[in-house]
Amino acid sequence: MSGLLQPSSNIWRAERADEFAIIIDADDYFSAARAAMRSARKSIFLVGWDFDASITLGRPGEQYEEPSRVGDYLLWLAEENPNLEIRLLLWNPGFLSSWTKLSNLPYLLRWKLHPRITVLLDGNHPVGSSHHQKILVIDDAIAFCGGIDVTAGRWDTRKHLDNDPLRRRPNGALYGPWHDASSFCAGPAAKALGDLCRSRWKSAGGEQLAPTDFPHVSPSIKGAISFGRVTLGISRTVPLYANQAGVAEIERLYVDMIMSAKRVIYAESQYFASRIIAQALARRLSEIDGPEVILINPVKADNWLGEIAMDTARARLREALRSHDPHGRFRMYHPVTAGGVPIYVHSKLMIVDDKAIRVGSSNFNNRSMRFDNECDVVFEAGRDDQLSRKLVQLRDNLLAEHLGVDTDKVTRTIGRTKSIIAAIEELREKRTVDQPGNRPTLIPYQTPAISGLEQWLADNEILDPEGPEAVMEPIERRGLFRGHLKLPSKKKPRSAIRGPN
């Protein structure tokens, strides 16, 4: 292949997708997954990091003719169709296994005794790493790949309403607004994702499975942004483990996409903690005519370990990038609701200019580059003007969601200002976290104070290693700031800086 996507370098395979679409937020994704499972004739393959059998697969509170809870729904599908095989491949983190959840326990025995529902918990990974992929394949004909797990706390609409009563966990507890993304594909690209699932299944101790050949008509997915027919690349991270060779296609893809950008890099990620990503951005930001970089991040991680490891590394990398950004082209923003509630950003998506997009399970952190199992999909528009326009429309559509304005207004403002940063600054409500306003908006990142211990953990990548081999490396060989990425002058300590971005 010519162009950005290169098999055996930044992608595993490139296959035709007869249809490709981006799905924003789990309201539309859960509904699409439900309909896709209902259409299955021979095979349902679900690969996930987490799973909760008691959640509603669809919109909570909606009345369905079939069972609403995903665990009951899968049992119902298997009873309705005697030819259907259902396989779930989930990460097994030992004592932290998702199957220890009380909500999953009622399904354990029922599924174990069912002849056509099989669950494998995959612990075939280095100590401390995880199987982070989120893939759903139906009959090798249609598939989903992205950042959304079929589990609790993920469902939300694109409105991200304050205090939405439908955002409840199975135990009835409310949770906050959640932003996420996935993708849909049909045709040979879906079969390739099926091949990936079968390979993972065998490595987890399952049997060798034959491909399924059962064509489907591509469904119409509510709310999806369709790109039609594209050549879809599949990119992976596979950690070095036992006799398994390490694969760093996703890392290479990120760097190649960053280096290919001419005007704009727009990214949404749960974290910003990768030395490799930061170094690539530093090179582009130092150029006189390099691209603007917009990164949408949550205010903070959603767990204590993430706050220590990821949030601290983000602060350190952000301050380091200041000395590499003389033209002020890098911005990090957090989305908040009209009421000022932080919207948790879990999506993993990047759009470069009007030329390429990737979406999947990988974050901007070291783990996703070499330590966890990840899967992303990517396509480039090439010389297809229609695809290029759709990429820009999707980017503006996402910004409109975050800013609480119409997509056309975002597009017009970017066109007039000739700058996405200038457009965001003009359109966003000038607020802080927890401050109510008239609509959702984006607020700039502010570097927090960092303790000495947090700084040491982040700088030495203690909780976010770059791969299995890095876990055993001596401290002096580790570091966020290896290479040409340097910290700012000691005259301006990171812990004292409070300015935005």
- Residue range(s) of every CATH 3.30.870.10 domain in the chain: 13-238, 261-496
Taking the CA atoms of residue 25, residue 301, residue 350 and residue 393 in that order, the dihedral angle to the nearest 10 degrees is 40
CATH code: domain 261-496 is 3.30.870.10
Q: Quick check: pTM over 0.75?
A: yes
Q: How far apart are CA 480 and CA 457, in angstroms?
A: 10
Contact criterion met (CB below 8 Å) for 229 and 218? no
Q: Would you state the structure tokens that stand for residue 277, as one six-digit string?
A: 């990503």
Query: Looking at residue 481, what is its pLDDT?
Result: 52
How many helices and strands, by DSSP H and E, does the chain display? 14, 18
Q: Give residue-wise pLDDT tens across range 187-241.
A: 999 999 999 999 999 999 999 999 998 889 888 899 999 999 999 999 999 999 9
Q: Give residue-wise pLDDT tens across range 151-194.
A: 999 999 999 999 999 999 988 999 999 999 999 999 999 999 99
Per-residue pLDDT averaged across 33-41, rounded? 97
Query: Looking at residue 1, what is its pLDDT?
Result: 59
Fold of 13-238: Endonuclease; Chain A (3.30.870)
pLDDT-derived band at 449 (thresholds 50, 70, 90) equals: low
Q: Give residue-wise pLDDT tens across range 273-326.
A: 898 898 999 999 999 999 999 999 999 988 766 777 788 888 888 888 888 999
pLDDT-derived band at 470 (thresholds 50, 70, 90) equals: very low
Q: Does pLDDT of 396 surpass 80?
A: yes
Query: Could you tell me whether strands 85-91 and 117-122 are parallel, antiparallel, or unpaired per DSSP bridges?
Result: parallel
Q: Give residue-wise pLDDT tens across range 102-145.
A: 677 778 778 778 999 999 988 888 888 889 999 999 999 999 99
Share of the chain above pLDDT 70, in %: 87
Query: Looking at residue 98, what is its pLDDT?
Result: 52
Query: Looking at residue 451, what is its pLDDT?
Result: 53
Q: Does pLDDT of 496 surpass 50?
A: no
